[in-house]
Structure 1
């Protein structure tokens, strides 16, 4: 698990350069660890009780009583930056959703899922990455942009991982929108690329790009070196 956390942190940092590598690495490593519990090799052993314990540890972290060294690293970050506990709690709720629900009936449900598992990451990260001192944009707009960036990223991940998710019996694509193109879960599981599938995917890609576009203005108000990396 620790090796995974270090790898995912390095990957994130290679795309989002920040001033204090250690602080952000501990921050991202801890928060991404929850996602690995549901989607990684230990997913079979995941349960609500395990996530309940993670939430207990989260409160201990914010109270200044970390459980282990990884928690201590996040505790240090929490006390150095104005991080709110709510996005962390919401992210764990997203992990609970992954355990009990593997379908989204419409985009409203998909958006909520994307917020829980990725939009929260954007909200957490703004405080650590920092807003450009010369920015004239309201802080709330920048946080909204970080949220939209997370949504766009998760929508992209879902489109990229359709086959992998299907192999686990999961279909995150909106069921009502699949039906509009004459598609259903059976078509997803078959992995056949038809004209209907292509048209459906074009619509989904357009939506993901829409959220990236919403995020662009706010992302430009992050510290200069962070913003530059979002342009790559």
Structure 2
């Protein structure tokens, strides 16, 4: 496989591990996977590994067995954390694959290859654990700890793979902001599905300013009707999220040129979800909006051409 060859991944067990992660990304992370195709082949396996692990942990929380008690789900999540730590502590990847841990093996190899800080993985697991006990957030300040671990650290994990043109520390705040913008976009798109799971991520204070609370959201969800107060609250939150995107946009120029088309594409596609929410007149409690395949292609193809051109020019100069 050319991506694995380009990344210098030659061990058969590791190749199997990364291939598993790639399949997870392709099956479940359509927007991320499309954007990943714009990276240099050598970068892609690491992104697949990071996505694969995040997906594995997230599935424990969001898709538990029907008869699993909260205690059992919490124990299973802590088991994932223990398996993660074992991998990060240097367990031979071949051993991990043989034990049925291909995702952890690929994650551990990626973290070691790119010097990703272990605390970012720990913070991520902390946020996953919060989903088991926290169902509401009074303010954005209260939500901040959750989105740091569930979103900002994803940007910080990916940044060493993407590379920067200057000190990594200068790009880190923007990478974190972009992760947060992606996450809040998900909250706005998935407010109905999250409500079904008993969670409201949109801060109470922001909703209450427009006369919205959990009871009204539940009423709208049950009747397939979006109240005017909910529309106004969502419009406010969309505008607020767009401001976070604008702040994050400043960091794209700090990335390695080869990585910029990928990040721009992910940013435009995720920003497009906000556009779809507005176009649907904020009717997110009845259905799940999505960016259509035609728009995905229209966004991705120009960036693909630029990405290929950038890689080609750098090979010629080299």
Q: Pick from 187, 191, 200: which aligns with 1:171?
A: 200
Coordinate RMSD, CA, aligned = 2.2
Q: Distance in 1 between matches of 2:126 and 2:66?
A: 16
The gaps in structure 2 that reach 5 residues or longer are 1-19, 266-318
Using the size of structure 1 for normalisation, the TM-score is 0.88
Matched residue, 1:31: 54
Matched residue, 1:150: 179
Q: Distance in 1 between matches of 2:174 and 2:202?
A: 23
CA deviation after TM superposition for structure 1 residue 105, in Å: 1.0
CA deviation after TM superposition for structure 1 residue 32, in Å: 2.6
CA deviation after TM superposition for structure 1 residue 184, in Å: 1.0
Matched residue, 1:162: 191
Matched residue, 1:222: 255
Q: Distance in 2 between matches of 1:42 and 1:227?
A: 40
SS in 1 for 2:201: strand
SS in 2 for 1:231: helix
The gaps in structure 1 that reach 5 residues or longer are none
SS in 1 for 2:259: helix
Matched residue, 2:102: 69
In the TM superposition, what are the counterparts of 1:1-232 in structure 2 within 5 Å? Answer: 4=24, 6-8=26-28, 11-16=31-36, 17-19=38-40, 20=42, 21-40=44-63, 42=65, 45=68, 47-65=73-91, 67=96, 68-131=101-164, 135-136=165-166, 138-191=167-220, 192-232=225-265
The change in CA–CA distance for 1:217 and 1:173 in structure 2 (over 3 A counts) is: same
Q: Distance in 1 between matches of 2:217 and 2:79?
A: 35
Q: Distance in 2 between matches of 1:27 and 1:152?
A: 19
SS in 1 for 2:179: helix
CA deviation after TM superposition for structure 1 residue 13, in Å: 3.2
The change in CA–CA distance for 1:44 and 1:116 in structure 2 (over 3 A counts) is: farther
Q: Once the two structures are superposed, what CA deviation does each residue of 1:104-141 show, in whole Å capped at 9, x if it has no partner? A: 1111112221111111111100011222xxx34x4223
The change in CA–CA distance for 1:72 and 1:50 in structure 2 (over 3 A counts) is: same
Using the size of structure 2 for normalisation, the TM-score is 0.66
Q: Distance in 1 between matches of 2:29 and 2:200?
A: 27
CA deviation after TM superposition for structure 1 residue 6, in Å: 5.0
Identify the structure with bigger relative contact order (alpha carbons < 8 Å, sequence gap 6+): 1
Quick check: 2:156–2:175 contact (8 Å CA) kept in 1?
Answer: yes
Q: Distance in 1 between matches of 2:151 and 2:66?
A: 19
Quick check: 2:154–2:179 contact (8 Å CA) kept in 1?
Answer: yes
CA deviation after TM superposition for structure 1 residue 4, in Å: 4.1
CA deviation after TM superposition for structure 1 residue 54, in Å: 1.6
SS in 1 for 2:132: helix
